Chain A
Amino acid sequence: MSETTLNKATTRRAEGSPRRLSGRHAPRLDRDQRKLLIAAGFIAPALIMYAAFVLVPLGMSLFYSTLRWDGIGRWRFVGLRNYLIVLTDPDLLQVIGNAFNLILYFTLIPIALGLAVATVIRGHMAGPFGTVTRTVLFLPQVIPLVAAGIAWSWMFASTGLVNQMLTAVGLGSLARGWLGDFTFALPAVGMIGAWVLLGLCTMLLVTGIAKIDGSIYEAAELDGANKWQELIYITIPALRQEIGVCVTITVIAALASFDIVYIATAGGPGISTMVPGLEIYRLAFAHRQVGLASALAIVLMLLVLLCVLPIQWFARPKR
């Protein structure tokens, strides 16, 4: 062992390496270590910013979640009590339930409609018509969610377009102030999310379906498969990855929603449209219950992970 080290040292000196042997340890780094060190240099700035404004706050959230603290005065350590409250308080459970309820609208509607459109279109998206369609369908992705919230608050208002259209087709008796209605406010908020995500999901699925080899469908038709069977046995399996992406994006958008609800209903009426994101904000900054807000924040983070990881696993590409 020591002999080899010695040998190396002599070789180096013989080579006339400019690297000076200072101190006890100055063995030349082997190739791997050098590579790692250089890579670390490239990674460091990003890692520092990420650590400072994501990892450290996340650690602080964890710490806060074990406190009883009004954000100004002295704090008291309460262990897991805040988590116990989050998981047992009926109001907070309803708030979490609302978020899952929103998944129905944010996820199911865009994907179902997107799949329907994609199967019918299957490649008819070329030319200027295709460009116009793409541009229009992407509009909701480009504008701030806040603007979508304002637009739809107006659509759902008592004098808004939704009621105007209902009256026009003779369903005027159904007209109401949708966002102020205990039964319909949450579905209405859900429809706003569906509107925002519809174009993106449709375009993702249309792009995906264009990659499927058309001869598979021809073969299936020769074998007497109907449209429904084609959808179940060809399209959906082939689009597994794209559907996975749509589900992931929409589920996160539903669980972590904030902007739309803040603008459209502020959680009301009552707490019928309150979602965890808005409740965290309200608890921490209006009610000064920083500990409880942080516990809810950690629970929300875990819920998102719990929902997203299985989706990723199901949708992983087959190798």
Chain B
Amino acid sequence: MIESKGNALVARAMLIALMAVTLLPFLSMLSAALAPSGSYPAGLQWPSDPQWGNFVKAFEVANMTKLLWSSSLIVGGVVPVSVLIATMAGYGLSRIDKGRGKWLYLIFVLGLTLPLEAVITPLYYETKALGILNTRMALILPLIGLFMPFSVYWMRAHFLNVPQELGEAAEVDGASDWKQFWLIQLPIARPAIMSLSILLFLWTWNQFLLPVVLVQDPEQRTMAGALGAFQGQWGTDVPLLCAGALLILTPTLILFLVFQRQFVAALLQGSVKG
């Protein structure tokens, strides 16, 4: 008993230390963001005269309203379509799991470990040829394609766990394949679809390499891509840069805190499956 109590204390101390390490960079950024703009603040020190105005300035300089709108448009273009077609494909693949269709699944799995850098150069020339370079479409279309291996893999794993009898019963009732998918399979898949949507939202919102290469105008980029441009422009003004960085990560932070349980579950499952 005594030993386990001691263990619990050690465990708590370790976790608190881990949390401190995780939080320190954020606190350090906050303290810098409140120092007078253009000054060289110390690493962590509550400023005598906190300059909350830095956040207002960063909000205007980074054109946050436009950025939020742009990122939302990109997420709105990527996530619903990806989830829908991946769910369909996952369902289709689960139905031909035993038999000739297996190689189709392997083609998707092939893409799971593919580093984005391996296709970034051709994607530039491809989007240029399609005439969508420097538009949000240059991010939306490739992202949908790039998300397919994981999404299809994820949804197929879900459908493989759904008992076959369910579909067969519907078939006997004369439901068409599409109806069966839409009315019976989709509602059961809701939890899997929710987690997938959360993951795809995060990966789209935080995507950096694609916007840096494919979209020149920061206002057509994702939040993360815009942050890169912001750093390039204001990198020498530490307080303003830190204020901007904190602002740019606030939207996801709020969403994360509200849907904390779902995010953690999705991230944990997502990595186990991926």
A residues with a Cβ closer than 8 A to B are 32, 35-36, 38-43, 45-47, 49-58, 60-61, 64, 71, 113, 116-117, 120-122, 124, 129, 131-148, 150-152, 154-155, 157, 159-165, 195, 198-200, 202-204, 207, 241-242, 245, 249, 252, 255-256, 258-259, 262-263, 276-277, 280-281, 284-285, 290, 293-294, 297-298, 300-301, 304-305, 308
Contact = CB atoms under 8 A, between A and B. Distances in A.
A contact patch SS: helix
Given A47-B104, A124-B12, A129-B12, 7 more contacts: A42-B88, A50-B107, A54-B119, A58-B119, A113-B18, A200-B271, A203-B268
B233 to A, nearest CB: 13
A256 B113 CA distance: 10
A49 B126 contact: no
Given A42-B89, A46-B85, A53 B121 contact: no
Interface of B: 7-8, 10-12, 14-15, 18-19, 21-26, 28-29, 32, 40-44, 85-86, 88-89, 91-93, 95-96, 99-101, 104, 107-108, 111, 113-126, 141-142, 144-146, 148-149, 151-152, 177, 181, 202, 205-206, 208-209, 212-213, 223-224, 227-228, 231, 238, 241-242, 245, 248-249, 252-253, 256-257, 260, 263-264, 267-268, 271-272, 274
B117 A150 contact: no
Given A137-B18, A148-B25, A52 B145 contact: yes
A203 to B, nearest CB: 6
A312 B223 CA distance: 34
Q: A-B pairs with the 8 shortest C-beta distances? A: A53-B145, A42-B92, A161-B43, A46-B89, A144-B224, A256-B115, A60-B122, A57-B122
Nearest to B207: A144
B111 A50 contact: yes
A291 B242 CA distance: 38
A245 B273 CA distance: 8
Contacts of B96: 35-36, 39
Given A36-B96, A199-B18, A160 B231 contact: no
Given A53-B142, A151-B26, A36 B100 contact: yes
B263 A138 contact: yes
Residue among A120, A164, A245 with max Cβ neighbours from chain B (10 Å): A120
B206 to A, nearest CB: 4
Contacts of B257: 135
Nearest to B252: A142
A151 B28 contact: yes
Nearest to B227: A146
A117 B18 contact: yes
Contacts of B224: 144-147, 259
A285 to B, nearest CB: 7
B264 A300 contact: no
Contact of B115 (A71, A146, A304): A304
